[in-house]
Each structure stands twice: as structure tokens, then as C-alpha cells.
Structure 1
Amino acid sequence: MSSTATTESTVPEALLRIRDLRVSFPGKGWRAPRTEILKGVSLDIRPGETLGLVGESGSGKTTIGRAVLGLVPARSGSVTFDGERIDTAKPSRRRELSRDLQVVFQDPYTSLNPSRTVGDTLSEPLLGHGASVREARGRVGDLLERVHLPPDAASRLPREFSGGQRQRVAIARALALRPRLVICDEPVSALDLTTQRTVLELLLEIQEETGVAYLFVTHDLSVVRFMSHRVAVIKGGSLVETGDAHDVTTDPRHPYTRALMLSAPVADVAEQRRRRESAATLGGEAAAPTADAG
């Protein structure tokens, strides 16, 4: 897989700006101290850009996306979207922001309502933002075409589709309101390798056509290399390395990033053993990342 990163002579203003973001959750038990999940994270995403956010299970990468969406509260720091502070936004404003901020979740089998047709699922956000039934029906047809599903998919239930097709429906739902930023939370990790490639290429195609920006959360450096312009690596709630996708995924500076790269599975058993032995020489927690969302 090769990077989509390009070098630009002019750098646009950030669409999303996160500064010194800290998130903590209550500890278990009476008087237990709070557990700090994010420890002062700062990052930017520019319009039309994909920022890959990579780390092992429990590193805090999913929490960043949830904080941007307002699903978990920030204890301190700030989240700014298109110049507007949104981490303190009221629920009514959050609903309005859903037009510009959307999400594709990890599991296509649980992210869709099994009792609603695909057409109803795709129409819901449109009708909720004031579209007429006729307008919603036309938009649903456009969305299905965009994600390469047949028109009759609108009348079918999620159980009638494969995992890759369900994820296409989830992507279509995220695109329904023409958002400017989509948070992709491990969107292909539940799919087989062939289907992963198809979905990733679809996301790139949509970005090329619409200019949407992605925050792409994953544990897989090969996916990050394929999808991202820039990469941020998170470990234990702190960013340890950021940079151009090609540079970070081919010549990482931080031992943890190197361990992630070396722990990625390869087809050759001997090579896999050599890579894991090399990762072990890095020592400590960095040498044994796990392959889960977190």
C-alpha cells in the first residue's frame, strides 16, 4: 500500500484544532482516583486532509474521536471546529454540528438498526434537518450510487447485505448531510482483507470528489500509510510522534512507533518471528502493542 500524502506549497487553516485535550473517567470504587485517558493531546486537521491516528488498545485514540463528537466530556483543553469552540457547545448546537461532523463506527453489524430499511436509515438525518420526503428520497438514491450500491438497496434490511456492503451503507449515512469532517473509528478492522481494500478505496474516492476531511482511527500502520496525509501516534494518552504519513510509517523515530510497525502481521512466518524478536529488543510496553481499537 502506498501513501496518498502530497506536499502543498500553501498550508490552509486547520478545520479541526485540538489543544491540550485532557479526558479522565471516574475510578472504580468509592474515593478511587480518576483515570486520566488523554494527557494533553494537541493536533490539527486541515480541510480535505486525512490524519491517521494510530495506537494500541487503550491508548486513547478512540477517546479523541468521541471527545470531538461530544460523546465524552473534556476535563480541560479545547476542541475548535472551523474557528468555533465546540467542546463546550450546548446539546442544541451539537445537533446542528452533526451536519458538518459525522462518524463511521467499527462494526457494520451493530452500527445499523436491523429493523429499519437502508432507505429509512439514510433518510433519517435528512428529514431531521428539514428535507422533504421527496428531497430525502432523491438524496438516498444519490448516496447509494456514491457508495456503489444498487438502487433497490433502499428497500432492503441490513441483514441482507455482507459486512462490506453494510459498511458502505454506514459510510453513505455519514455522507448524507455532506459533512466537512468524518471520524472513521476503525472502519475496516472487522472486515476481511479484500473487503478492507474496497472500503478504503471508496473512502479515498469520496474524499477526492467531495473534499471531506477524515480523522482515521486505527491500530494498523499499513492502513494508515494507504489512507493518510499525516499520522499521529498515541501511547498511553499522549502523542509520541507526528509527521508525514510516508515518513512516520517507513522511518519512524519513536521506539513505540517502530514496535507498532514491527508487530504488524506479515504472511511469511520466519519474517514474522524476526520482526517480533526485533520489536522485543525495544523493551517494555512499546514492544508488545495489541491489535485492538482503544
Structure 2
Amino acid sequence: MSSLLEVTDLVVEYPGKGFRAQPLRALKGVSLDIRPGETMGLVGESGSGKTTLGRAVLGLAPVTRGSIRYDGREIGALSRRARRALSDEIQVVFQDPYSSLNPSLTIEQILTEPLTARGTAAKDAKGRVQDLLDGVGLPSGVATRLPREFSGGQRQRIAIARALALDPRLIVCDEPVSALDLSTQARVLDLFIEIQERTGVAYLFISHDLAVVRHISHRVAVMYQGELVETGDGDQVTARPAHPYTQRLFLAAPVPDPDEQAKRRAARRTLLAAQSSELAA
């Protein structure tokens, strides 16, 4: 199956601060691909570059070198107008459901806004709202309410509905459940899976949590200091990681069993000590 998104040797640099400062290289030759209907989980700690990769795909981060191809078309250096035209097919769900929705608009206005911007008639756009709310498990009566009247999980469902409004083929999900409690996380993740099975949309799913990406991803890529250090089948990478950094991420994930948690902490300390000794040598 041909790839929907192909990222090849991608380099992203930001100007350094101060006179003659060296540029900050956030991505160092990253390559990955996403197939139609697939979830690619991108995992790493804060500052690893995973969000920068998502922003580059969305056209929100500068591409210094390398290639981003969507459906066979180079999109890494598109103009702003061309990017707007591409927004029908590539959408985003942000991390914070509290700040990603306009607090002064009703849910109906939030969901019809991208449709009317595309040129959909107001009557048709209003009719589409019901389908979108049904698709994310919210009743039609919420359309006249404001975002502040909803819980975090409900707001994220609204954000997902907005991303689905234009029937995209790819959604960049940037830590979409990290601001939610654990039980709500599980429900939202199941919603993502159900939507994918129903629509065939592909996800670039960005997270710092291996347990989250294991639940939703077909394949997983692990990022460390701007580079991909391990890529493979989701079950293999998240349960039997090969790279030492991925092993540290695996051991850092909390588990409900205190004895197992203590074993993980000890194993992580042993792994860190062994890696420190290797570096010192």
C-alpha cells in the first residue's frame, strides 16, 4: 500500500538567541511514513522534537531541509494559500481542550465555521452539525451551548468533531488526551479508534505516554533529541523495546501494582547506571 504521508530526512532549525548564536536544530534528518487508515504513534519526552514534527506537517514549523510529501505531492514549502486549500484533507486536534475552542462561540458556530469557510451553504453546514455531534457521541441539544459548559472530555470530543467537519484523510493529534483524567482518556482513545474504523482516517498520534500509543497505534516511532531511535510494530515497540531510550520510557511508565512499580524503578536505575558507565568509558 502506498503511503499517504512521507517525511524524508526532515531538518527543522530555529534561529539561535543572541549575536552569532548557532541555530537550534529541533529535527535532525527524521524520516517516517503513514499509510491510509493507519495510526502512527510518535512518542518521546518533552523537548524530543515530536511536536515540532507535527507542526512541520501542518505547515506551522519551518522546513530547513528534507521533504514532506502528502499523497505524492510535496507540501513542505507550500504557500499560505495552498496550505489553506490543503486543510480539507489534513486537520489537527490540539492538546488542551480548554484553550483550543473559542469561548465566545456556541458549539454550532464552532463546528459550522470551517464548513462556511470552505463555501458550504449555511443551511447545509447547520445540518452537518448533527452528524458531527452524533459521530463523537454528543446529543444534538449541546449545539446551542458554550464551551465553558462542558467537561474536559466533552470539549475534546467537540474538538475532534471540528477536525472531522471537512472529512480529512489525515489528522495530527498532538497530545490529545494528556490533559484528561485516566478514565476520560480511555473513552476518548476508544472514540478515536471507532472514528478511524468508520471513516478510514489516518492519525499521526503524538504522545509522551507509551501506554497511550500502545492502545491506539498500529506502528510506533520513538523520538529522542530530534532523531528517531526506534520504529516498528506498535505491540513490539511498546512491550519489547530494543533501544535503550525506549526501554527507559517503558520502565518509567507507572503501573498500579506497587511491587511491579518497584521492580521497574530498580530496572530503570540499573539501565541508567549502565548507560552512564558506557558514556564515561
* TM-score, with structure 1 as normaliser: 0.92
Deviation string, structure 1 residues 38-62 (Cα, Å, up to 9, x no partner)? 0000000000000000000000000
1:249 aligns with 2:247: no
Q: Gaps (5+ residues) in structure 2?
A: 277-281
The match for 2:159 among 167, 170, 173 is 170
1:103 aligns with 2:103: no
2:201, 2:138 → 1: CA distance? Answer: 20
How is 1:23-42 mapped onto 2 (pairs within 5 angstroms)? 23-42=12-31
- Judged with a 3 Å threshold, the aligned counterparts in structure 2 of structure 1 residues 161 and 122 are, in CA distance, closer, same or farther, namely same
The match for 1:222 among 208, 211, 231 is 211
Q: Percent identity?
A: 62
Q: CA deviation at 1:92?
A: 0.8
- Amino acid paired to 1:163: G
Runs of 4+ with >4 A deviation: 284-287
1:104, 1:78 → 2: CA distance? Answer: 23
1:49, 1:226 → 2: CA distance? Answer: 13
RMSD (CA atoms)? 1.3
**Which residue in 2 is equivalent to 1:21?**
10
2:266, 2:43 → 1: CA distance? Answer: 22
Q: CA deviation at 1:271?
A: 2.5
1:158 aligns with 2:147: yes
* TM-score, with structure 2 as normaliser: 0.96
- Amino acid paired to 2:32: L
Secondary structure of the residue aligned to 2:271 is coil
2:235, 2:130 → 1: CA distance? Answer: 37
- Amino acid paired to 1:240: V
1:208, 1:248 → 2: CA distance? Answer: 23
1:122, 1:244 → 2: CA distance? Answer: 35
1:84 aligns with 2:76: no
Bigger proportion of residues as helix: 2
Question: Relative contact order (C-alpha < 8 Å, sep 6+): which is higher?
Answer: 1
**Which residue in 2 is equivalent to 1:146?**
135
Residue correspondences, number: 276
**Which range moves more in the overlay, 170-179 or 28-37?**
28-37
**Which residue in 2 is equivalent to 1:57?**
46
Q: CA deviation at 1:230?
A: 0.3
Question: Is residue 47–residue 211 contact of structure 1 (8 Å, CA) maintained in 2?
Answer: yes
